[in-house]
């Protein structure tokens, strides 16, 4: 933790969020910027795509850019699902979209080399964070300017992570005291831990539009013009 003027908090020059929403993953859907998610984590496969640029084995990966591909995997082994190949009678990776990078061919081939180390789906090399299984909306109201923004955030994100999301709207966001219901928020805790309940399920149960009531966090200026 570092202190910036009147406000204690992380150094946002080096801050990394832990969670990403499915809609954020979906934005990275181009060969030059390709993310996928699986088994609760988010992966940036852009370096892999650049390494194998022009290779036909990239096609199945390009087709799922920005999507969740958990159905490709066995949740117990964390490996690609396998099946018995009807041609060889051997246990092989199951790839309905076609064989992709680092998946061995069904039969021995002279042009196949397995000296690449771990396949791309094993290990944390491409991992950028966790996937938010549940998201919610929160309103952030700047009491100094009366500006209001609604953000979609991960339910488990800390207030610091939410502040990081809010920075494009207010570069001085860390120079404010964040409050809800008149109480200072614990920035290391998430919304629920700060007493800001997610009532979307209750609204759905009552057949009401949950957007009719979105909790609001109020920002009070601390007279500290620290720009992040």
| Rounded distance between C-alpha atoms, residue 38 and residue 24, angstroms | 14
Using alpha carbons only, how large is the chain's radius of gyration in Å? 22
Report the predicted TM-score, pTM, of the whole model to 2 decimal places: 0.83
Spatial neighbors of 148 by CB under 8 A, at least 6 apart, are 139, 140, 141, 142, 216
Hunting for tokens 């150094």 — which residue is that?
11
pLDDT over 50 (residue 85): yes
Give the distance from CA 143 to its chain's centroid. Answer: 30
Among 3.30.1320.10, 3.40.50.11310, 3.10.20.90, 3.30.420.40, name the CATH number for the domain at 134-221. Answer: 3.10.20.90
Closest CA to 216 of 163, 165, 141: 141
Q: Which of these, 155, 140, 149, lies nearest to 191 by C-alpha position?
A: 155
Strand (E) or helix (H) holding 166:
helix 159-166
SS3 71: helix
Site of tokens 């969670």: 19
The CATH code of domain 22-131 reads 3.10.120
Short-list 181, 183, 138, 127, CA closest to 162: 138
Name the pLDDT band for 212 (thresholds 50, 70, 90). Answer: confident
- The whole-number average pLDDT for the span 215-225 is 83
Question: Residue 185: left if φ>0, alpha if ψ -120 to 50, beta else—which one?
Answer: beta
Q: Is 111 helix (H, G, I), strand (E, B) or coil?
A: coil
**Each residue of 130-166: pLDDT tens digit?**
999 899 999 999 999 999 999 999 999 999 999 999 9
Asked if 222 and 216 touch (Cβ cutoff 8 Å), the reply is no
| Residue 92 predicted with pLDDT over 60 | yes
Q: Where are the domains of the chain?
A: 22-131, 134-221
| Region of poorest pLDDT, from 89-93, 97-101, 124-128 | 89-93
* Residues 105-132 pLDDT 10s: 887 787 788 888 899 999 899 999 999 9
Reading the block at residue 223, the tokens are: 């007279």
């Amino acid at each position: 933790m570092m202190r910036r003027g009147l406000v204690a908090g992380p150094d946002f020059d080096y801050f990394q969020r832990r969670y990403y929403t499915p809609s954020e993953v979906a934005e990275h859907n181009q060969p030059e910027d390709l993310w996928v998610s699986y088994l609760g984590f988010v992966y940036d496969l852009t370096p892999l795509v650049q390494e194998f640029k022009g290779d036909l084995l990239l096609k199945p990966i390009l087709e799922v850019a920005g999507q969740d591909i958990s159905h490709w995997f066995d949740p117990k082994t964390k490996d690609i699902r396998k099946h018995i190949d009807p041609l060889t009678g051997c246990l092989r990776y199951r790839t309905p979209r076609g064989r992709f990078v680092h998946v061995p061919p069904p039969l021995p081939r002279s042009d196949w080399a397995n000296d690449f180390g771990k396949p791309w789906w094993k290990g944390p090399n491409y991992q950028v964070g966790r996937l938010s299984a549940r998201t919610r909306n929160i309103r952030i109201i700047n009491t100094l300017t009366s500006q209001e923004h609604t953000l979609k955030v991960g339910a488990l994100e800390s207030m610091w992570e939410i502040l990081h999301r809010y920075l494009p709207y207010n570069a001085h966001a860390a120079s404010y005291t964040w409050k809800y219901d008149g109480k200072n928020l614990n920035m290391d805790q998430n919304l629920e831990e700060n007493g800001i309940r997610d009532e979307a399920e209750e609204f759905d149960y009552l057949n009401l539009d949950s957007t009719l009531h979105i909790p609001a966090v109020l920002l009070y200026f601390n007279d500290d013009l620290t720009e992040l």
